[in-house]
């Protein structure tokens, strides 16, 4: 039996795993078009400084806590979009998938009297089934993903309206479903979670470094690992302090960040994750390397729709109801825009779930800031469009830089 060799991803954390100084790494990344998350972080800092200057309530604990809740559901959908974009494809049905799964959740829980847990599981399975169906049509029949998911966008919206019936709205009583987005951790629990996160990251970083050293492979310098651990600890401390000073760390935000971390590990550390990068980077090379391309594509669309279903559940949880507008309006566009703004390439093979989270924070910050300074939503859309266009231009320029350096 042939042992397939999976091509390495076009970009990833292993690119940093050498012994060069941080400044040399920065110069190499700029020359090679590998800018990472820095443009997004710099843009986010500028957005926060501008809105804080325009309204001193922007960086208050209350507003930042509301911002965290505001981005959770769309951010969850955006994380699923990342997987499809890594293949170089698109899924235009995630908004409707979120809406139909939200409607199914409400029907089963309220009208049929199912337990909240059972209704949540069935809603997630419905999302996975939809993704599997769309992925199979795309991978096995060769129908472009754009067409398959556009048809799905219309079809699942129709099913959502059918499930909700003539009333159009199903209110969800307080329970497990609503607790997902309306529960805040106690201050002590918030600190415990923060300590666990930093400890796990430090353990993983130093264990990986030790393994590479024992295998005779080049590893990141000890100083680089320490800087990363200290940087993460600083972010966690600031986040917990800010959120604790209002009502505590929201459970919904914890779910989003936890799933982003798990998905990031899957993409970077597993054979399946590297297969996704390989298919998105060069599908023919991936096929010749022995990767089951169709299986990877179907699984990715299944995961994308499952994340969309979870996003729909979180929308119901926050709004205490499933309505005809759940998952509609600008949810689809914001989910895709968040992933692209976060640095996920539209050309496939490059990006990270953390980028989707950063993109969601950027979009949420723009929306929150505009509301605070009482700017019309039309202006918000135009500014969001400008940020999205800048992200796409930066992606194209970076891609050109990688080609020039022989890495594209």
Which residues, in sequence order, are CB contacts of 339 under 8 Å at separation 6+?
78, 79, 81, 82, 85, 351, 355, 356, 359
Q: Cα 305 vs. chain centroid, distance in angstroms? A: 13
Query: Is pLDDT at 304 greater than 90 in this prediction?
Result: yes
Residue 112 gets which letter from DSSP? Answer: S
Query: Residue 15 — pLDDT band, cuts 50, 70, 90?
Result: very low
Please say whether the beta carbons of 110 and 173 come within 8 A. yes
pLDDT at 74: 92
Please say whether the beta carbons of 33 and 236 come within 8 A. no
SS percent in the chain: helix, strand, coil, step 5: 75, 0, 25
Residue 13 gets which letter from DSSP? Answer: G
Query: Is pLDDT at 274 greater than 50 in this prediction?
Result: yes
The tokens for 243 are 């959120």
DSSP, collapsed to helix, strand or coil, labels residue 171 as: strand
Query: Is pLDDT at 135 greater than 80 in this prediction?
Result: yes
211 against 251, higher pLDDT: 251
The upper half-sphere exposure of residue 154, i.e. CA atoms within 13 Å in the direction of its Cβ, equals 5
Mean pLDDT, range 198-221, rounded to an integer: 82
Please name the residue that has the structure tokens 């266009």: 389
DSSP, collapsed to helix, strand or coil, labels residue 220 as: coil
Query: Is pLDDT at 6 greater than 50 in this prediction?
Result: no
The tokens for 220 are 């990141």
| Helix and strand counts by DSSP (H, E) for the chain | 16, 2
Query: Is pLDDT at 25 greater than 50 in this prediction?
Result: yes
Please say whether the beta carbons of 102 and 315 come within 8 A. yes
7-11, 164-168, 190-194, 354-358: the lowest-pLDDT one: 7-11
């Amino acid at each position: 039996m042939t042992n397939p060799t999976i091509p390495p991803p076009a970009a990833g954390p292993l690119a940093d795993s050498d012994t060069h100084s941080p400044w040399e790494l920065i110069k190499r990344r700029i020359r090679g078009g590998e800018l990472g998350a820095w443009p997004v972080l710099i843009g986010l800092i500028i957005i926060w400084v501008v809105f804080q200057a325009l309204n001193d309530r922007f960086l208050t604990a209350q507003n930042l806590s509301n911002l965290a809740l505001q981005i959770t559901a769309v951010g969850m959908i955006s994380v699923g979009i990342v997987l499809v974009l890594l293949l170089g494809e698109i899924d235009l049905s995630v908004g409707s998938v979120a809406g139909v799964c939200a409607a199914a959740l409400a029907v089963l829980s309220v009208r049929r009297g199912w337990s909240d847990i059972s209704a949540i599981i069935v809603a997630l399975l419905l999302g996975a089934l939809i993704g599997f169906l769309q992925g199979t049509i795309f991978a096995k029949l060769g129908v472009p993903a754009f067409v398959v998911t556009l048809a799905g966008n219309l079809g699942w919206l129709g099913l959502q309206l059918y499930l909700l019936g003539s009333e159009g709205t199903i209110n969800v009583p307080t329970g497990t479903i609503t607790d997902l987005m309306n529960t805040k951790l106690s201050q002590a629990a918030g600190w415990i979670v923060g300590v666990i996160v930093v400890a796990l990251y430090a353990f993983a970083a130093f264990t990986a470094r030790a393994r590479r050293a024992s295998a005779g492979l080049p590893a990141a310098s000890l100083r680089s690992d320490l800087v990363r651990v200290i940087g993460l600890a600083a972010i966690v401390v600031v986040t917990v302090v800010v959120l604790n000073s209002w009502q505590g760390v929201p459970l919904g935000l914890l779910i989003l960040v936890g799933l982003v971390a798990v998905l990031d590990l899957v993409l970077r550390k597993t054979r399946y994750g590297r297969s996704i990068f390989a298919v998105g980077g060069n599908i023919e090379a991936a096929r010749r390397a022995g990767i089951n391309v169709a299986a990877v594509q179907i699984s990715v669309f299944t995961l994308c729709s499952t994340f969309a279903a979870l996003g729909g559940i979180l929308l119901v949880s926050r709004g205490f109801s499933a309505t005809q507008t759940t998952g509609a309006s600008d949810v689809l566009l914001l989910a895709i825009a968040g992933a692209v703004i976060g640095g996920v390439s539209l050309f496939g093979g490059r990006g990270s779930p953390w980028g989707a989270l950063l993109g969601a924070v950027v979009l949420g910050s723009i929306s929150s800031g505009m509301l605070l300074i009482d700017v019309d939503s039309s202006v918000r859309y135009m500014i969001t469009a400008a940020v999205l266009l800048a992200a796409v231009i930066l992606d194209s320029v970076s891609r050109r830089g990688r080609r020039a350096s022989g890495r594209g």
